[in-house]
Amino acid sequence: MRTPKRKDAGAPLTTSRAGSQESAVKVLTGCISIVVVLVAWQVSASSGLVDASYTSSPLEIVKAAAELVTSGELAQNLPTTLFEFSIGYALAVVIGVPLGMLMGWRLRVRQVFEPLLYALYVTPSLALFPIFVLVWGIGTTSKIAIVFVDVLATVVINAMAGVQETDARTLRMAHAFGAGQMAQFWKIIAPSAMPTTVAGLRLGVGRGVITVIVAELYGGVVGLGVMISAYGSSFNVPPLIVLALLAGLFGLIVGSLLRRIERSVFRWE
């Protein structure tokens, strides 16, 4: 399906002063545009230009956020969602990275698992969720399972692609210097597959966060998704927006953490 691509000798590191200045400018312009939107939103809501019961307003959202925190509602629900996500995600990484690398490295392993994984990758996970609920009930376990399945496919496919993109010339060099199969894997294949693999971990965070919340929307007792579902059915818009922002923020933080790791991969020894 994929042909191994040849990679460039090395990606330049963008740690120059010009680079950081550029990113500061980017952040600043981003902030300005956000502020402009918020102000316009607040003005049009309080002047009655738009119906605030649908759109809410920034001030109302801040108020709702404070309420969610002080009432202890968030503290009651957030840990469950985080737990479900973390366990499912961690399991997917622990199993997915070695499995994906093995699949990229060994044709036989790939032949066995590839059809299954692509099937998982393209199946909307929610379609599988009722089955998981049948097996494990509506509680935490079924949500861990669905996060696992969803993240696993992403992680495996990227780890596999990373291995397959290993530069054939570098491998040949290692062989010429007497590297056996194991040494070729640990010293050449694994490190050169790292960037793509970590990119897969980052993509997995996004998918995992979406999946855990959507699964909670489907049913459950506690969790962010359960809250969203409750506020949604009573058309209480401000807390809904708070929760959506929260999920986004979480994805952003974990994602940028992994991006940091991605960059430091190029400084490997």
Partner 1 sequence: MSHITFDSVKISYKTSDGEVEAVGDFSAEIQKGEFIAIVGPSGCGKSSVLSAADGLLKPAAGNVYVSGEPVTGPGHGRAMVFQDASLMPWRSVESNVAFGLELRGVGKAERLRTARELVKLVGLEGRERSRPSQLSGGMRQRVGIARALAVDPEILLMDEPFGALDAQTRESMGMELLRIWENDRKTVLFVTHGIDEAILLADRVLVMSAGPRSRIVEDITIDLPRPRTREVRVGREFQVYRSRLSNLLFGEQDARTTEPATR
Contacts with partner 1, residue ranges (CB under 8 A): 9-13, 167, 169-170, 172-179, 183, 187-188, 191-192, 194, 265-269
Amino acid at 184: Q
Distance of CA 261 to CAs 82, 187, 230, Å? 21, 19, 37
Q: Would you say 231 and 239 are in contact if contact means Cβ atoms under 8 Å apart?
A: yes
Exposure on the CB side of residue 18, measured as CA atoms within 13 A: 2
Instruction: Give the integer Cα–Cα distance in Å for 93 and 121.
Output: 15
Q: Which of 212, 197, 219, 193 is nearest to 251 (CA)?
A: 212
Q: Would you say 189 and 163 are in contact if contact means Cβ atoms under 8 Å apart?
A: yes
Buried b (16+ CB within 10 A) or exposed e, 198-225: bbbbbbbbbbbbebbbbbbbbbbebbbb
Q: Would you say 255 and 169 are in contact if contact means Cβ atoms under 8 Å apart?
A: no
Q: Sort 235 into a burial class: Cβ within 10 Å, 0-12 / 13-18 / 19+.
A: exposed
Instruction: Give the integer Cα–Cα distance in Å for 130 and 63.
Output: 36
- Helices first, then strands: H and E counts in the chain: 12, 0
